[in-house]
Amino acid sequence: MTDPQVALLMLGAFIFLIMLGFPIAFTLVGMAIGFGFYAYYDPTRMWRAYHRALEQGASWTEQTQAWFESLFSNRVFDLLVNQTYSVMANDVLTAVPLFLFMGYIVERANIVERLFHTLYISARRLPGAMAIATLITCALFATATGIVGAVVTLMGLLAFPAMLSARYDVSYASGVICAGGCLGILIPPSIMLIVYGAAAAVSVVQLYAAALLPGFMLAGLYVIYVFTRAVLNPSLAPKPSDEDVGEVTAGQIIVMLVTSFVPLAGLILAVLGSILFGFATPTEAAAVGALGGLVLAVLYRALTWQRLKESVYLTVRTSAMVCWLFVGSWTFASVFSYLGGERLISEFVLGLDLNPVTFLIMAQIIIFLLGWPLEWSEIIIIFVPIFLPLLPHFGIDPLFFGVLIALNLQTSFLTPPMAMSCYYLKGIAPPHVQLVHIFKGVMPYLAMVFLSIFIVYVFPAIATWLPQQMYGR
C-alpha cells in the first residue's frame, strides 16, 4: 500500500472504532501512535542503541533497556509530546475552563430557576408565555455554560414539568427544551467558537462578532415560532389563570427582574462586551465571568462547599476532555498529513471542479451527516481541519465558514435517530413522554436551522457585517 492509502485506512479505522463506542480522545491518540510508528519508522535512527549494546557484549538487562530505548526513539513519540505541550501552552484554550466554571457555578446556584420564574411571570399574558420564557432562559444559560447536555437536563427538570402541569402539548414543550438548549453552541461567548478559533487559527473575538447576529436571528426564529403556534392553536399552550400565577403587581415584576434577570444578563453582556470592544482578551473576560458567577452565587446565598466542589470537578473533567481531544486530533492530523492523506483529499475535492457555493454545500452536508454519530467537539477538532486548507482556493472567509458550521451543528443535537438533546430530555422526562413525541417536537426547529443556514448563505453580511464594522474585516 502507498502512504496515502495507509492514511485513508487510518481515517476509516478511526471512524469504525468510534462507531463501536471507543473513547474518541484516546482512540485518536492510539491511532496516531500506531500509524505514526509506521510513518516515521527509521531503522537506522531507531535501533542504533540496541545494535551498539549487542556489539559491546552488554548484559541481557542492558540489551533489554537498549531495546526499549530504541523502540521509543520513533519520532511519533516526540510528536505526541510536542503536540501535548502546544495544547497546554495555547492561550486561547485557557478560556475554556473559565467559561465552563462560570456556567457550572451559575447552574448549581439556582440562578437559572429564579430567572425562569421571573421571565414566565413577566410574559404570562402572552400566548405560549412559558415556552417563550423557557427559550430566553435557555439562551442565557446556554450562553453561560455552552454544554448542551447540562442545559437540556436542567431545563428539563425545571421548565418541562411546569409546562406539562400547565397542560402544554408534550411535543410542543419537548421541542422548546431541546432546541433552546442547543443555542449555546452558536451564541457568544460560545465555547465551540473558542475551539474552532484554536483549530482554524482565527481570532475568537472576530468569531464572536460574526456569530452574534446569526445567533440572535436563530433564537428570534424560535420565539416567533412558539408564539405563532400558540396563537394559531391555543390548545398547545393554554394561558395560565390568575389563580395559577397569583396576583403580581408591576412593581413586583420589576423587582424580580432586577434581582434575577439583570444580574445574569449583565454578567454575560459585560463578559461579551469586554471581548468585542477589546477591553479584555477572551481568557481575561472568562476569568471575570468565573469570578462574577461566584459573586452571584454568594449574593444569592447559594454557594456551598458541595456546590463549589461539584463545579470544580465538572470543569476539570470537561476541560480535560477538550484538551485531550486537541492533543489526539493534532497528533492524528500530523500523521495523516505526513502520510499524504490531506493532499489526497484536497486533490480529490479540487478535481471535482466545484464552485464556492457547491463546495460549501458539500462541506455542510458532510458535517450534518457527521453530527449523527459525533458531538460538536469531535467534529470541530477532527474533521473541520480537513476543510480548512481548501478555503483559500475557493475564496471563503474562515469566519463565515465557522458561523455556518456553528449553525449546522445545531442539527447534530436535533436530528433523529441520534438527536442527543432528545435523549438527554428523555432521560429525565416522566414515563408517559415517549421518544417519538420528543422527535416530533424538534422537527420544526430543525427546519428553522436549515432556514437560518439558507438565509446566511443568501445574505452573508449577517455574519460578516459586524466584524467588518468593528475590526475592518
Closest CA to 202 of 378, 406, 398, 472: 398
Lowest mean pLDDT among 105-119, 175-189, 245-259, 359-373: 245-259
State phi, psi for 309 to the nearest 5 degrees. -65, -45
Q: Is the pLDDT of residue 192 over 80?
A: yes
Across the range 43-70, mean pLDDT stands at 61
Burial-class residue 241 by CB neighbours within 10 Å (0-12, 13-18, 19+).
exposed
Lowest mean pLDDT among 51-60, 98-107, 215-224: 51-60
Across the range 222-242, mean pLDDT stands at 87
Site of grid cell 443568501: 458
Spell out where 191-302 has E strands: none
Across the range 404-408, mean pLDDT stands at 90
d(C-alpha 113, C-alpha 353), whole Å:
53
Across the range 7-25, mean pLDDT stands at 80
> What DSSP string describes 444-466?
HHHHHHHHHHHHHHH-THHHHHH
pLDDT at 242: 60
Across the range 34-41, mean pLDDT stands at 81
Q: Is the pLDDT of residue 222 over 90?
A: yes
- What is the torsional sign of CA 391, 396, 399, 402? negative
* Mean of per-residue pLDDT scores for the chain: 82
d(C-alpha 341, C-alpha 329), whole Å:
14
pLDDT tens readout for residues 267-291: 878 888 888 888 888 888 888 888 8
Q: Model confidence at 245, in pLDDT bands (50, 70, 90)?
A: low
Site of grid cell 501535548: 84
pLDDT at 322: 76
Q: Model confidence at 218, in pLDDT bands (50, 70, 90)?
A: very high
In single-letter form, the type of residue at position 383 comes to F
pLDDT tens readout for residues 360-404: 888 888 888 877 767 777 788 777 888 888 888 888 889 999 999
402 DSSP assignment:
H
pLDDT at 336: 83
Alpha helical stretches, state H, 242-281: 242-245, 250-256, 262-276
Q: Are the C-beta atoms of 408 and 364 separated by less than 8 Å?
A: yes
412 DSSP assignment:
G
Q: Is the pLDDT of residue 172 over 60?
A: yes
Greatest mean pLDDT range, 72-76, 269-273, 289-293, 448-452? 448-452
Q: What is the pTM of this model?
A: 0.80
Q: Model confidence at 137, in pLDDT bands (50, 70, 90)?
A: confident
pLDDT at 220: 92
